[in-house]
């Protein structure tokens, strides 16, 4: 098996890490483009984390020998497994995380979706929202939460890596 999506998932997580480092540098900057760089890196980190997530779904499909190319979201993977008669602890864990409104994965999805929304109003943070979701929706954020967003992204990347390590260990046994 080529395991092309295993490499792709790793690549996207590396890109997210590199953009996190660039975000930290942008936050420490005093240049005239500081805020534009911060917002750019915030959104690019979301893009790379979500790309890594889709790649992980395809990695799981590839491991179980279902058509990975057709997988673009978790319900497509679930349908492919149902059609093939497969059950997967990896899929079950991802579904549980994605459906839990306070999980990092659910918040990541919502923050990514927020990249496609624009508002000039400040939304309140709750257990179901994230700082990054609120920040990326605002056309002109005040940047007072930049360090919190950075911490959130760092946490999400660490959670993703832990999930990946756990799931890959399980898939190797399969």
- State the pLDDT at residue 27: 92
- State the pLDDT at residue 119: 66
**pLDDT tens digits in sequence order for the chain, 174 residues long:** 458 999 999 999 999 999 999 999 999 999 888 888 998 999 999 999 999 999 999 999 999 999 999 999 999 999 999 999 999 999 999 999 999 999 999 999 998 988 887 766 565 666 666 666 555 555 556 667 888 889 999 999 999 999 999 999 887 765
In whole angstroms, give the CA distance from residue 76 to residue 119. Answer: 31
- Please name the residues in contact with 144: beta carbons below 8 A apart, sequence gap of 6 or more: none
Range of the domain at 160: 4-173
- State the pLDDT at residue 125: 60
Q: Is 94 exposed, middle or buried (0-12, 13-18, 19+ CB in 10 A)?
A: buried
Helix (DSSP H) and strand (DSSP E) numbers for the chain: 7, 0
């Amino acid at each position: 098996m080529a395991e092309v999506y295993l490499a792709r998932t790793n690549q996207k997580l590396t890109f997210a890490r590199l953009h996190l480092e660039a975000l930290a540098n942008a936050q420490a900057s005093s240049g005239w483009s500081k805020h534009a760089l911060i917002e750019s890196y915030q959104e690019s980190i979301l893009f790379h984390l979500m790309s890594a997530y889709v790649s992980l779904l395809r990695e799981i499909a590839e491991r179980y020998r279902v058509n990975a190319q057709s997988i673009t979201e978790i319900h497509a993977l679930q349908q492919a497994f149902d059609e093939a008669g497969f059950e997967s602890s990896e899929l079950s864990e991802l579904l549980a995380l994605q459906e839990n409104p306070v999980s990092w994965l659910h918040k990541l999805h919502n923050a990514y979706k927020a990249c496609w929304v624009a508002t000039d109003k400040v939304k309140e943070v709750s257990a179901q929202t994230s700082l990054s979701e609120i920040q990326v929706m605002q056309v002109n954020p005040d940047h007072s939460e930049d360090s919190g967003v950075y911490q959130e992204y760092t946490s999400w990347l660490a959670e993703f890596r832990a999930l990946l390590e756990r799931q890959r260990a399980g898939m190797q046994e399969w």
